[in-house]
Structure 1
Amino acid sequence: MTPTPTPTPTPTPTLDPSGHSGGEPVRADGLDPVVSQVVRGRLIAITDQMRLALQAVSGSPTVTEASDFFTGIFLPSGAFATMGHQVTFEAAPVGALIRHLLDNGTELKDGDRIIGNDPFIGALHQNDLQMCAPLVVDGEVIAWAGVMAHQTDMGGMDFSSWSPKATEVWQEGLRIPAVKLVDGGEVRQDVLDMILAATRLPAQVGLDIRAFIATLNVASDRLKDLCGQYGTGTVQSVMTAMVENAEAGVRARLRELPDGVVRVTDYLEHDGHTDRLYAVDLVATKRGETLTLDFSGSSAQAPGFVNCSRPGLMGAVAGALIPTLGFGIPWNEGLLRPVTVTAPDGLVCTAIPPAPVGSATVETIWVACNVVTTAVNTLLAASPAHAHRAQAVSSGTMATFNLSGRDRDGRFFGLHLMDPLAGGFGAFADHDGPNAAGPMGTPSPCIADVETNEQTSPLFYLHRRLARDTGGAGRRRGGLGAEVALTVTVEKAQALVMTHGLEVPNSVGLGGGWPGGLVSQTFGAGHLPDSTDAARRATAVRPLDAHDQERFAALGPKPGSFPISDTDVFAVRWQGGGGIGDPLDRAPEDVAADVRLGLVSADSARLVYGVVLGADGSADGSDAVEATRTTRLRRELRAERLGTGVDAVPERTAPIEPDGVPVGVAPGAAWLSLSDRLRLVRNDDGSWHVRTVDGALLVEGSTRWRQGAVRFAPRLPDEVVSTLHPDLTVTAWACPVSGHLLAVDVHRRDQDPAHDLDLDLAATGPAGLLSRAR
C-alpha cells in the first residue's frame, strides 16, 4: 500500500490469521514445494506460539480475555510475512516502528528489544504499547518479530489516557519514540522504571512488558531453530514468496471487480469540547488490479482527542481491507501492495503534532475502517463472482467505558471494559449478520465473562444481553448489538465514558438495508438498598425495567469523567450491524421468528418489515387473513414511500433472484446486478442503462441511478429523531414503479447524498466485468 504524501515512507504491513488454511500453496523459486509448505506452516505456528506466550504471561484482561493485541513476523524491510488472529488495525503500526528504526539507521544487535508508543511514529495512540526485535542469525538480521497490545493506562490528565478535554498530545500520557528496552539481552532497568513511573497501573503494565519480551524471545528462539533445520536462505525465500503470492492473489481478485469510483462518507460527532460533526470522506478508485483510496475530502483535524495520525489511518485501511478483500488469501503485506492511500497532512485522519489523538482507535480509525469496508463491499456486490460475499458495516462504533478508584482494601484499580466489542455484525447478501459478533477488524473477537470482570474489578452487572431492534432492518437483517447495565461495589469510583455513534448511524446498510441502531447511554440512581455491602446488595438488585430507564438521564456522546457510586447505574447499548436489501423483502416467517426470539419488536415487525403477526406472536402462513393483511400492509408501505395511493403500486413485484431477468430486459441481454433491486443493462447499441428489477428505467449512460429514483424522507424511530446530530439527515430512495427501497443515505443537511457508485462503462475485457456480465 503506497500512501501519498507522507513525511517519511509509511509502512503497509498485513496479517495472516487464515494463512495456514487458505490460498494457493506457497511457491518459492528453486525450493522443494513440500519444504516450502512445511516452512510456511512453521512460520505461522511461531506466530501463534507468540500469542500463547503473550497471553500466558500478561496480567491484563485486555490481552488475556479480549485479545486486543497483535503478533507477527516481518521481513528485514519491515513488511509482514505472518500475523496472528487478533486485531487487524495493529498490523501497520508495528511495521512503522521497524521502518522508523531502519530509516534512522539505528544500530541493532542480537538480543535487542525496542519499545515505542508514539502515534506519530507508529502507534495508533499512546495506549498501544509496541515492541519489536531484530531476529539475528549468523550476524545478519533475517527477519523481525513484533508485538503490540492496548494498555489500560499510560499516564496523562485522565485515567486510561483517554482525555476528552485534551487539547494537545502531551496531555495524553507518556510518548515513547523508539527506545531499546533490552540491549543485547540485558533489560535496561532505568528505561523500564521511567515507563512504569508514568502509568497509574505499573504492576499491570510492567507484567505486559515482560510478556512482550517473552513473546519476542519465543519468536527469536523458534526462528533460529527453523533456520538451523532448513537454512536461513530457505526461510527467507519462503517468507518472501508468501508475500508475493498474496500480492498476486489480491491483484487477481481486484481484476474480478468492476472498474470505477465509489464515494463513501461516514461521520463522528463531538471532539470532547464541542458537538461538532467530523467527516471521514473516501473516494475509492478501482482500476484493473489496483485500488486508490483518497481521503482528501475529510474534515480538518480536530482540537480534541478524536483525531488519528497517519499510522492510524494506515491501520484503519489494513483493518478493513484484509478481512474484506483477503478472504482465502494468506494475510500478509502482499494484500496491501496494490493499494495506494492519498491524504494530505492535517486532516482528522492524518493529524499532525501537537494534535491530541488519545481516542483515535475508537473514533477516527474506526470510522475510516467503516468507509473502506463500505467501498469494497459496494464493489463486491457488483461482481458476479463475489456478490454473495457483500456485507454491510459491522459494529460501526465502540462505546468506551473505563473505571478507576480504590477497592474495598484501599488498593488502586483500573478497568477498560471490552464488552462494547459485542456490537452486531453486518448482514451478508445471503444470510443475516451474527449477533454481538464484533467489528470487522477483530477476526477472533472475545470479551470477558461477567464473572471474570466482577472478580477482577468492583463491578456488578444488572444485565448483559442482546439489545432488541438494534440490527439494521433488511431482507437480510444485521446482527444485534448487546447492552449492559452495571454499578460498582464500592462507595465511590470514577467512570470515564465516551463514544461516537450516539448521534450518527455508523453501521450503514447496503442495497436498501437500514443502518444498525444508535448507541444509547444513560446514567442515574438505581433501585438499590442503601448499603455498601456487595453481598447484601447483590441479592436485592433487579434488572432495569422501563420505568427505571425513564428515570435515567441520557448521556451525550462525550460525557467524559464523572463519579459513580454503589447507588448509581450506568446503562449502554451498542450499535448493531447494517442490513442488506429492502426490509419489505424479508420473508414473513423470518420476521415472525425474530419476534418470537425477542430480536425484533412487534412494532418493528409491523412498521418496518410490514408483517402482521398472529395473536400468538407469529405470522401464521396458514391463516389467510394474516397473510392477506401482510401483503396489503407491505403494499401500503410501498405506496407511502412514493406518496401515492395503494392502487398505484403493483400487488406483486419481482422477486430477488440473482440470475432472474429484470422486467423489460430481453432474454439473453447482458446485465450486471448492482444490488438487490438494481441492474445495469446493456442496450442493443452497446450503451448501458440502470433499471430496477421491476422495470423502472432510472438512468441512461451511467450508474448514477439516483437521478431516476424517488427520493423521500423515511419514517425514523423516535430514538433516532431525538438523537440524530442536528447537521445530519436521512434520505431514502425507492423504485418509482414498485416503491421498493433501493438505498438509505445518511448525509449532511446542507449537502445532497453522493452518487456512491460510478462504474467505468467503457471498460472491456477482464479488467471490467460489464462486457461479460450476462
Structure 2
Amino acid sequence: MTDTTTAASRKLDPVTFEVLRRGFDYACERMSQVLQKASFSPIIYDMVDFSSAVFDPDVELIGQTANCPVHIAAMHYSARASLAKFPRETLGDGDVVILNDPYLGGTHTPDVTLTTPIYFEGDLIAYAVSRAHWTDVGQTMDSHIAGEGFRLPPVKLASAGVLNRDLMDIIKNGTRTPQYVEGDVQAQLASLWACRDEMRRLAQRYGVDVMREGMREILDYTQRRTQKAIEQIPDGVYYGEDYIDSDGYSEEPVRIKVKLEVSGDRVHVDMTGSDKQCLGPINSPLANTVSAIYYSLKFFLDPQAPANAGMYRQIDFTVPEGTWLNPIWPAPTLGCTTAASSKVTGGIWSAIAIAIPDRSVASTYSDANWFTASVIDPATDENHVFSDLPAGGWGGTPFNDGMHVTMDPLGNCQNLPAETAEMLFPLRYNSFQMIEDSAGPGRYRGGAGVRMEVEFIGTGQIITMESSRTREGSPGTNGGGSGSRQKQLRRKADGSIETVGGLDDDGNWLPQMLGGIQFRAGESFVFESGGGGGWGDPLTRDAELVAEDVRNDVVSRARAESDYGVVLTDDLRVDADATRVARAAH
C-alpha cells in the first residue's frame, strides 16, 4: 500500500468527502438524464445503450452512471486518444472531440465517444465523456474493419460550443439513419454541458483545490477497498476458459484462455493462449477487453465500493497482441462489445469458481444477442433501420435463483419495447415470452430465456447479428446443470419454421453470426435466447420451489422429475413419498 492511501494522508472530513463523491456521480446522472430525454434514437432513449462518465485532469475515472459497464473502462482509452491528438493546452471551453475508431480507443464503430474539458475560472477541473451507441454508422458484417461503417479518428466536433457543420454533413452522409444522427449528437453535446454545469457548481462551492483533493481521495478509497477484497481470495493460480461458437466465416469455435493469479492484494489476468485474431467481426480491441476484465472482476471485488479508477490500480493484465482479444488492424470488431466481452466474463468467472466456489456465480446466457435489421415500409417505400437486444437468463448464485430475461453483465440495456417498435417501424412483435425448461437446473436454478418473434410488414433483412451459446447452453457451477441453447429461426408466411443459426431439428449446426439474411413481407425473425446455468446439485433444491416453478411454467412436469427428482400430483403439488423414492434413485 502506497503512502497516498494511508489515513494520515487524507485531508477531507467525511462529510465533505461524501458530498464530493456523490457530486461526481450526480454530474454523470444528469448527463444520462439529459441524453436519454433529448436523444432521437430508440436504442438510446428506450434501450439505454449509452454511458456517461467524468474524469479528473489526469484522465482517471472519478464518476459514472451504471449504464453499460463494458463502455466505462474503455472510455478513458478514448479520452486519452482524443487528448493525444488535441493536447489539453489546445482545448478550450466548449471544444468537443469525437471518435469511434476501434483502433484509437474505441470499441465497435456504432459506439461514438465525445470528450470535452471542463474549466472553472481558468483552471481545468475535469473532463466529461459521453459514449452512445448510434443506430447505424453504415456497418455490415465484414472481414475487414472498412466494412463496418465510417471510422472517425479524434476530430473536433465543436469549437467553443459551435458545431462543425462540415463534419456533421459527412457523418449524416455515411449512415442509413440520418434522421436520427444529428438529434443524437445534439443530445450528447447537451449531456456534456450538463456535466460541466454540475462540476462547476461543486467548484464554486468548495473551490478547485478541495475538489482535486476529493478526486484523489475517492480514488484512494476505492483502491483500499479493492485491496481488502482481493486479500479475501486465496492466493493461487486459477484457470478458466470460454468460447464463441464461431466468427461467422469459419465453423471453428474461437476460444479464450484465462489465467487468474492472486497474490496478496493484487490480481493478474493473463489471456495468453487465447486464439489468434479472426476473419470474422468478433475481435475485441484492447480497450474493450480491458474494460471487460475490470467489470467482470468488480462483481467479486467489493461491488459496493465507488466505481472508479482506484480499482484499476490493483489489477494487472496480459493480453498478447495479435490475439482476437487484442487484434491488429484491420481485423473487424463489430461484435466486440456484445459478444467478445461476455466471453471475457465467462472465462474469468469460470476461474473465480475455482478460487472461491462458495461465492461463485453460474454463467449467464453470456451474450447481448445484438442485431440490426432493416425493413421497407410498403406504403411509403421508406427504408427503416432498427436494433434489439433479446436478453436471456442469468446464472444461479449461492443465495438465490438467477434472474429471468436480463441483459448480460456487459450492459444495463433494455430490449426494444414492442410498442415503440410498432409505432416507429413497419413491424409486428408477435411474441415475447419466457421459454419453459430453458433455465439450468440447480439448487438455485438459472433464469429463463425468452422467445421473441418479430414480423416484417415489408421486405426486410437482418443486417448483422451476433450470438453464441448455440452449440452448448450456459454451464452451471458446483454441480448445477446447463441452460438451454440459443437459436435463430425464420418463420415463413405459411407458418413453417427454418433454422438460420444454431442447431436445427436434425442436429445440424449453422453458424450463429448472421449477416444479410433476407425476409419477405409477412415472414418473421424468431430468436430463442438461452437460460442461465444452475448453481449446486439440483437434487438438493427445495421440492416446493420446484413445484412452484412448474406452476409458473418455468419448469415442465417432466423435467421436474428428470432433473430434480420431484414428483408432482395431478394438481401440481409435491408427492412427498414419490419424491423421496425418485431422489434416492437419482
The match for 1:263 is 239
Q: Is the 8 A contact 1:433 1:476 kept in 2?
A: yes
Partner SS, residue 351 of structure 1: coil
The structural deviation recorded for 1:104 is 4.6
Cα separation, partners in 2 of 1:554 and 1:340, compared to 1, 3 Å: closer
Aligned partners of 1:124 and 1:171: how far apart in 2? 15
In structure 2, what is the equivalent of residue 21 of structure 1? none
Secondary structure in 1 aligned to 2:200?
helix
Aligned to 1:123: 106
User: Which moves more between the two structures, 403-412 or 430-439?
Assistant: 403-412
What's the counterpart of residue 55 of structure 2?
74
Q: Contact 2:282 / 2:335 at 8 angstroms: preserved in 1? A: yes
* 605-614 vs 129-138, which moves further: 605-614
**Cα distance, 1:452 vs structure 2:** 1.6
* Separation in structure 1 between the aligned mates of residue 120 and residue 91 of structure 2, nearest angstrom: 13
Q: 1: distance between equivalents of 2:263 and 2:551?
A: 47
Q: Secondary structure at the match of 2:316?
A: strand
Q: Which residue of 2 aligns with 1:59?
A: 40
Match of 1:631 in 2: 580
Displacement of 1:215: 0.5
TM-superposed deviation, 1:308: 1.0
- 2:450 is the counterpart of 1:482: yes
- Residue by residue, what CA displacement relative to the aligned partner does 1:376-414 show, whole Å, maximum 9, x if unpaired? 354343xxxxx4x53212231232332213223232211
Q: Is the 8 A contact 2:401 2:445 kept in 1?
A: yes
1:283 to 231, 234, 259: 259
Gaps spanning 5+ residues in structure 2: where? 1-6, 496-503
Structure 2: distance between partners of 1:397 and 1:254: 27
TM alignment of 1:328-367, pairs within 5 A: 328-367=304-343
Residue 105 (structure 1) shift: 5.7
Distance change in 2, residues 1:493/1:82 (3 Å): same
- CA distance in structure 2 between the aligned counterparts of 1:497 and 1:171, rounded to whole angstroms: 12
Length-normalised TM-score, structure 2: 0.92
Whole-Å separation in 2 of the counterparts to 1:226 and 1:597: 51
Contact 1:494 1:563 in 2 (8 A): yes
Residues 645-670 of structure 1, C-alpha deviations (whole Å, 9 max, x = no match): xxxxxxxxxxxxxxxxxxxxxxxxxx
Q: What is the aligned partner in structure 2 of residue 417 from structure 1? A: 388
> Aligned letter for 2:71?
E
Matched, 1:511 2:482: no
Q: Distance in 1 between matches of 2:494 and 2:505?
A: 13
- Could you tell me whether the CA contact under 8 Å between 2:473 and 2:486 is conserved in 1? no
Question: What's the CA shift for 1:28?
Answer: 8.0
SS at match of 1:523: strand
Q: Determine whether 1:573 maps to 2:528.
A: yes
Q: Deviations over 1:131-187 (max 9, x none)?
A: 1111122333221111101112111xxxxx141xx1211111111111110112221
Counterpart of 1:84 in structure 2 is: 65
| 1:501-531 deviation line (CA, Å, top 9, x unaligned) | 2434363221111222110121131457xxx
Deviation string, structure 1 residues 509-562 (Cα, Å, up to 9, x no partner) = 21111222110121131457xxxxxxxxxxxxxxxxxxxx989x9864124212
Equivalence map 1:593-632=2 (5 Å): 593-621=548-576, 624=577, 626=578, 630-632=579-581
Residues 462 and 514, structure 2, Cα contact 8 Å, conserved in 1: no
Q: In structure 1, what is the equivalent of residue 178 of structure 2?
A: 202
In 2, the alpha carbon distance for the partners of 1:177 and 1:497 equals 24
RMSD: 2.2
Change (3 A) 1:145 1:297: same
Query: What residue in structure 1 maps to residue 158 of structure 2?
Result: 182
1:391 paired to 2:361: yes
Q: Is the 8 A contact 2:85 2:154 kept in 1?
A: no
Aligned to 1:317: 293
Inter-CA distance 441–515: structure 2 relative to 1 (3 Å threshold): same
The Cα shift of 1:230 comes to: 1.1
Secondary structure of the structure 2 residue equivalent to 1:363: helix
Q: Where in structure 1 are there 5+ consecutive unaligned residues? A: 1-25, 156-160, 382-386, 529-548, 638-774
TM-fit CA distance, 1:68 = 1.1
The answer on 1:36 being equivalent to 2:3 is: no
1:467-512 deviation line (CA, Å, top 9, x unaligned): 111111111100111111221222x122235333243436322111
Task: From the superposition, tell whether residues 105 and 454 of structure 1 become closer, same or farther in structure 2 (CA, over 3 Å).
Answer: closer
Residue-pair matches, total: 569
* Structure 1 CA distance for aligned equivalents of residues 548 and 62 of structure 2: 45
* 1:234 lines up with 2:201 in the alignment: no
Q: Is the 8 A contact 1:480 1:575 kept in 2?
A: yes
Deviation, 1:635, is 3.1
- Show the counterpart of 1:721: none
- Counterparts of 1:303 and 1:467 in 2: how far apart (Å)? 34
**Residue deviations 1:235-287, cap 9 Å, x none?**
11112211110010010011111111211110112222121111011011111
Normalising by structure 1, we get a TM-score of 0.71
The amino acid of 2:239's aligned partner reads R
C-alpha distance in structure 2 between counterparts of 1:513 and 1:145, whole Å: 44
Amino acid at match of 1:149: A
What's the offset of the Cα at 1:303? Answer: 1.1
Summarize the Cα distance change of 1:562–1:306 in structure 2 as closer, same or farther, 3 Å threshold.
Answer: same
Once the two structures are TM-superposed, the CA of residue 362 in structure 1 deviates from its matched residue by: 2.1
Of 166, 180, 193, 2:169 maps to 193
1:183-235: per-residue Cα shift (whole Å, max 9, x none)? 12221111111112111111212211111110111111221122112101111
